Structure 1
Amino acid sequence: MKLAYFTHVWGRPGLSAGQRYARLWRELAAADRLGFDYAFSVEHHCTPHESWMSSPSVFATGAALHTERIRVGAMGWVPALRHPLHLVEDVVTLDHVLGGRLDVGLASGVGPEPFLPFGADFERRHELTWEAAELLRAACGAEGPFDFEGPVHTLREVCLSFPALQRPHPPLWIPTTNRGTLRRLAGIGAHTASTMIVPRPAMAPVYRHYVERWRAAGHTGDPNIGYWSLVHVAETDAEAEARAAAHITHTFTKVLRYDSVRRSGAAATPASRLSTADILAGSGDFRFLMEHNLVFVGSPATVADRIRQAAREGHVNTLFGEFDFGCLDEADRAESVELFARDVIPELRGFSPFEPPAAVSGAYTASEEQQVADRLQALGYLD
């Protein structure tokens, strides 16, 4: 498995924006020193109650100034909010600023609210995201001036000031569980990700299919499939739960406001039958989150076991762990990260939820793909 230090850069009462960013740089410097593979953040706009990170370029530039080894990126830039050539120029510049340590995540957006202040096209967000990915690949792969014909934007005789450092382009991620998008990502060698609000039994079949398609395309190694959740580690399970419970509840109910969704089934729904609505509705109940292994809290041994279990269930191999949440004390967060790096990361390094290539049976038939779609529908998740 690979491990990412993920942060929404959530605002904090009593902290100015400058103080919050200073704390962020300390977090990233520690993640770099402690051996995390990635540092990822978000692009969120006009959300004072939630994320204070509106610019992935600021995140990546600050990370470049405070780290030496860790790979850095966004999960992700929202292409529909800007002309895609602006995104391409930011990417190639940041790739040099980071010395070739940039990863590029592109996110289509899940709700219309962030699009409204910009007058952006929410309805075509998926199309615009894919167009940006194709333009990035075309621009970074060009030797000199290039043309580009997309569904929305047309470019003629465009020449970047300089090419990206990584060739043919920095690693690309598009978070999704959509089967069609995953097939396209597998074809071009791009990575993907999802989140703990998507039921893992729904993730597994589509991500197995994605891995099969990736291998069939002949790419080196296996794709990275990210999984986001909150993480807190202490010396004992009891200490970790006592420290983290209130802050996790606060994050899901007051910051992300997940609990406004009503549960679709009975309160005692087993994990294998949970829907996204069930997870959202139960997110304000710490015991519910723990019983269904939706957050990773406990001693190092417990957290390692929980992550392995979730990785097997969801067929994911890259943890997007969020360690700074709620109003968690900075010293407690730092101790959690140190314990995770010292005792959990070594336990996960040699673990993979993927079958070796020889054991993979091949692509799904049309009938099997329809069964996967029916399963996603039954579990209440629609991409």
Structure 2
Amino acid sequence: MKFGINLFPTVGPHDQAPVDYYDHALSIAVYAEELGYHHVKTVEHYFFEYGGYSPDPTTFLTAVAARTERIRLITGAVVPAFDHPIKLAARLAVLDNVSHGRLDVGVARGFLPDEFAAFQLSLDDSRPRFDATVAAIVELWTGSDVTIDNGFHSFGPVTLQPRPFQSPHPRILVATAITPESAERAGAAGYGLLLVPSINPREKVQDIIARYRVAREAAGFDPATAEVHLSYSSFLADDADEARSLGEQFANTNHRALARAVSGWSTARSTQYEGYEKIVDRVAGGTFATQLAADKTIVGTPAQVVDQIARIREAFGDVTISLQTPPSTAPEAVVRRSVQLFAEDVLPHFSAPVALDGTAPGVAAAAVAPGR
């Protein structure tokens, strides 16, 4: 298994000045590399406390690239619908070069009605617009004299400079939330998968991952190269009571931010987002206790979290996990201790891979590996 840090802001101007948030986030990114984490990830969102301090992941990750040497950089995720393919392809190519090939490009359709309204885009066009824009970006990265006329963009012939550092281009990861079809399409294209398990029952997450793997293998891609990334809010402390108390406080901050961001679905409807009308009720009905009991949030002492990760591994196999750090308004020492505890006392237990035979491994298969 691989583990990284998800720097997902859940603050606004009334909580923290932007400059203070970025100073904090950059500090944690550098610390994550020092501790041996695999990646640092950040999102693209606008307007709300839910991610709004991260409207341009490429800019932030470029700053991370300048301060680090090894850790991978993941856009988790950019929203191609909100940009022109030439601009987005070029920015990502620059980031891949300045990081010497450490970039993985997570892409998403977007799902917040208020964001689509602000960009004057229709939710009903989101899937074809997404597919067309991602295809255009890949063609720009790899082709010459590229001409695009896809119903959303028309340009060319053009030859993009610079090319990405990685050949033929950075790994692409596709975000899916509720619809399994998105996972199947990602698998058929040979892309990786980004998921947030907290918004679905475990069985649905298993179904989404299984469909992704089946579609990918059916398209002729090596099962061993499949990439499944799961993001979890997290908080670790030396004391169990402190971990649960502060973990609940931090989780509730994230929960309130998410509830405000998805409120647009109380009236919005789209055939491209089947089932999303239920997301407001799902978010409203969730509690910290139920999330923790279902291993949808990772909170506790290192020993408790080792048990949680073992159960997650049993359910989903050897996935890549991104740990969303506590809100940046939490004391810096508390955040850094949480990140340190996971790296030093949890991560070493899961350094050995588990072989998959097409089904999730059992508890016995998820053996603890000694050392780091």
Alignment partners' CA distance in 1, 2:50 and 2:138: 36
| Partner Cα separation in structure 1 for residue 24 and residue 87 of structure 2 | 29
Cα displacement (A) at 1:26 = 0.1
Which amino acid is 2:90 matched to?
A: E
Alignment partners' CA distance in 2, 1:315 and 1:259: 30
The code of the aligned residue for 1:320 comes to: S
Contact map agreement 2:79 2:108 (CA 8 A) in 1: yes
Q: How does 1:90-239 map to 2 (within 5 A)?
A: 90-142=91-143, 144-176=144-176, 178-195=179-196, 196-216=198-218, 217-219=220-222, 221-239=224-242
1:127-152 superposed Cα distances (whole Å, 9 cap, x missing partner):
1111122112212222x322334242
Any stretches of 5+ residues in structure 2 without a counterpart? 265-277, 361-372
In structure 1, give the amino acid aligned to 2:72.
R
* Correspondence for 1:29: 30
Per the TM alignment, residue 102 of structure 1 is displaced from its structure 2 partner at its CA by 0.8
How far is 1:21 from its partner?
0.7
Supply the distance in 2 between the matched residues of 1:260 and 1:162 (Cα, whole angstroms): 40
Q: Distance in 1 between matches of 2:204 and 2:50?
A: 31
- The Cα shift of 1:53 comes to 0.9
Give me the whole-angstrom Cα distance separating, in 1, the residues matched to 2:153 and 2:325.
39
The two structures have a TM-score, normalised by structure 1, of 0.82
- Which segment is superposed worse, 240-249 or 101-110? 240-249
Distance in structure 1 (CA, Å) of the matches to 2:298 and 2:353: 17
Shift of 1:278: 6.8
Contact in 1 for aligned 2:174/2:194 (Cα 8 Å)? yes
SS across alignment from 1:54? coil
CA distance in 2, matches of 1:49, 1:136: 27
In 1, the alpha carbon distance for the partners of 2:136 and 2:257 equals 38
Shift in Å, 1:256? 4.3
1:3 & 1:350 partners in 2: Cα distance? 13
Deviation at 1:281, TM superposition (A): 2.9
Cα distance in 2 between the residues matched to 1:224 and 1:238: 35
TM superposition shift of 1:244: 1.9
For the 8 Å contact 2:259–2:283, the answer to whether it is kept is: no
- Unaligned 5+ segments in structure 1 are 262-274, 361-383
CA shift at 1:170, angstroms? 0.4
Query: 1:232, CA displacement in angstroms?
Result: 0.9
Q: In the alignment, is the contact (CA less than 8 A) between 2:213 and 2:223 conserved in 1?
A: no
Q: Deviations over 1:15-34 (max 9, x none)?
A: 32111111111010011111
Distance 1:83 1:11 in 2: 28
- After superposition, the C-alpha distances for 1:31-68 in whole angstroms (9 at most, x for unaligned) are 11111111111111122575311111211111111211
TM-score of the two chains, using structure 2 as the length reference: 0.84
Does the aligned pair in 2 maintain the 1:199–1:276 contact within 8 Å?
A: no
Indicate if the aligned counterparts of 2:318 and 2:353 stay in contact, CA closer than 8 A.
Answer: no
CA distance in 1, matches of 2:7, 2:333: 17
Aligned AA (1:170): P
Total equivalences in the alignment: 343
Aligned partner of 2:8 in structure 1 is 8
* CA deviation string 1:49-105 (max 9, x = no partner): 753111112111111112111111211111111222211111111111111111111
CA distance in 2, matches of 1:299, 1:81: 40
Aligned twin of 2:365:
none
Identity %: 23
User: Residue 260 and residue 241 in structure 1: after superposition, are their counterparts in 2 closer, same or farther (change >3 A)?
Assistant: farther
**Which is worse superposed, 295-304 or 247-256?**
247-256
What's the C-alpha RMSD, in Å, of the aligned pairs? 2.6
Secondary structure at 2:229's aligned position in 1?
strand
- For 1:145, the aligned partner's letter is D
Q: How many Å separate the matches in 1 of 2:15 and 2:128?
A: 40
CA distance in structure 2 between the aligned counterparts of 1:223 and 1:295, rounded to whole angstroms: 24
2:351 pairs, out of 346, 349, 352, with 349
Q: Sort the Cα spacing of 1:124 and 1:223 in 2 relative to 1 into closer, same or farther, 3 A.
A: same
Output the CA distance in 2 between the equivalents of 1:326 and 1:287: 23
